[in-house]
Amino acid sequence: MKKKNNPFLLKGYVSKELFCDRKKEVDQLFANVQNGIDTTLISARRLGKTGLIFRFFDHLREQGDVKSIYVDIFSSRNLSEFIKLLAEAILLGFPEKTPIGKQFFEFIKGFRPLIGYDPLTGQPQIQINYQSDQEKEYTLKGLFSFLENQGELIVVAIDEFQQISDYPEKNIEALLRTYIQNLTNIRFIFCGSRKAMMINLFSNVKRPFFSSTQYLYLEKIDKAEYSLFIRNKFSESGIGITEEALAMVLNWSLMHTFYTQSLCNMLYYIAESEITIDTVKLACLELLKRNEPVFYQYRQLLTTAQWNFLIAIAKEGEVKQLTAQKFISQYEIGTPANARRISRSLLDKELLLELPYKKETFYRVYDVFLSRWLENEY
């Protein structure tokens, strides 16, 4: 059989056919929208938050055309860049030809912006020059009011929301909170991967977003659902996979969505008819080889002690107590204080992942490929 396009996506969202499960989460988001509740969506990087947002938007369209806007603020460094990205996202969500789009175009012209289109992607680009901070705040307020005044429900997802805590403006949280709490037609999804920062933003009593939203912690995809999905996607192309091979795929990639998808994507690429343990081993090695330049880069950025610490964690797989005597002496880490200092810096660099599990906390190497590579190489 001639192979179709690879069904294992490594970025973006295409259709629900290529998206595994997340029914519970979609239902939860939908219920929140209906009940007037904003959601804070949190998980480790690459587990599927952005995918879930687009899957949910798809669901909204099916359920009767609730309008949705997606804005990724990862690249923003201050309030004016936030406003710019928000305005561009609105323009993208409501194209110029639609009635709302026309209105928005007229509205935004009031701020005398430069409007252009990215020559490569065709996406709108807006540049506004502000005379003062008040003018910035006025513009932001204006954007929200514009959406509010459409008189229909609009879902606005702000991805990588933790970015706002790096903005130089001090009042940004309070400002957003003030505008947001008066909106009745807009439901927000605040999405982020820096867990501590997100929780601090939303749960710290001293902070303005306190208790204003409901948390949705995204976990790994359910094992049975993911197994079925993988098996089906292969079999739709006439490729079989043995039980052991499938178990190895899920185990090796730790069911961390991006890494599982990557491994399946590679398997789809190399498989002929049936995938066995040997095919999986081959695919794993190939993936690690392709990612080696990234691993060497990590090594360059770290001190020897930090690098050795990562190797130790990778060898263990998961570590419960980073300062435990046994762990420290086995891997010659030095003192508990050393271990604490090194782990803090690795957590900060997002090379180490903290996994709360019931009453305990586990740590593992954040990047699953790096973890597997360190485990093999050292």
- Total number of residues binding ligand ADP (CB under 6 A)? 19
- Among 33, 42, 49, 100, indicate the residue that binds ligand ADP (CB under 6 A): 49
**Residue 126, token pair as written in the block:** 């807006």
CA torsion, points 150, 153, 154, 158, in degrees to nearest 10? 130
Using CB atoms, what's the residue nearest to Mg ion?
A: 50
CA atoms of 16 and 8, how far apart (whole Å): 12
Closest CB to ligand ADP among residues 10, 196: 10
Segment interacting with ligand ADP (CB under 6 A) among 38-46, 123-131, 279-287, 355-363: 38-46
Closest CB to ligand ADP among residues 9, 199: 9
Dump strand ranges (E) for 88-133.
114-117, 124-127
Q: Is 68 in the site for Mg ion (CB under 5 A)?
A: no
Closest CB to ligand ADP among residues 221, 245: 221
Q: What is the largest distance, in Å, between two alpha-carbon atoms of the chain?
A: 68
Closest CB to ligand ADP among residues 19, 82: 19
Segment interacting with ligand ADP (CB under 6 A) among 46-54, 297-305, 335-343, 352-360: 46-54
**Residue 131, token pair as written in the block:** 């005379």
Report the 10 Å Cβ neighbour count for 138.
12
User: C-alpha 370: how far from its chain's center?
Assistant: 19
Interface with ligand ADP in residues 218-247 (CB under 6 A): 221
Q: Which residues contact 198 (CB under 8 A, 6 or more apart)?
A: 40, 42, 161, 162, 190, 192
**Residue 265, token pair as written in the block:** 């994507």
Segment interacting with Mg ion (CB under 5 A) among 50-58, 79-87, 88-96, 148-156: 50-58
Question: Taking the complex as a whole, how short is the minimal distance between the CB of residue 131 and ligand ADP, in angstroms?
Answer: 37
- Among 7, 22, 162, 372, indicate the residue that binds ligand ADP (CB under 6 A): 22
20 binds, among ligand ADP, Mg ion, none (CB under 5 to 8 A by kind): ligand ADP
- Among 32, 40, 50, 76, indicate the residue that binds ligand ADP (CB under 6 A): 50
Q: Which residues contact 271 (CB under 8 A, 6 or more apart)?
A: 234, 239, 279
257 binds, among ligand ADP, Mg ion, none (CB under 5 to 8 A by kind): ligand ADP
* 147: nearest Cα among 227, 74, 66: 66
Phi, psi of 354 (to 5 degrees): -95, 125
DSSP codes of every residue in 126-186: EE---SSHHHHHHHHHHHHHHHHTT-S-EEEEEETGGGGGG-S-TTHHHHHHHHHTT-SSE
Q: Is 50 in the site for Mg ion (CB under 5 A)?
A: yes
Q: Is 48 in the site for ligand ADP (CB under 6 A)?
A: yes
- Among 80, 261, 279, 306, indicate the residue that binds ligand ADP (CB under 6 A): 261
- Binding site residues, ligand ADP, CB under 6 A: 9-11, 19-22, 43, 45-51, 221, 257-258, 261
- Binding site residues, Mg ion, CB under 5 A: 49-50
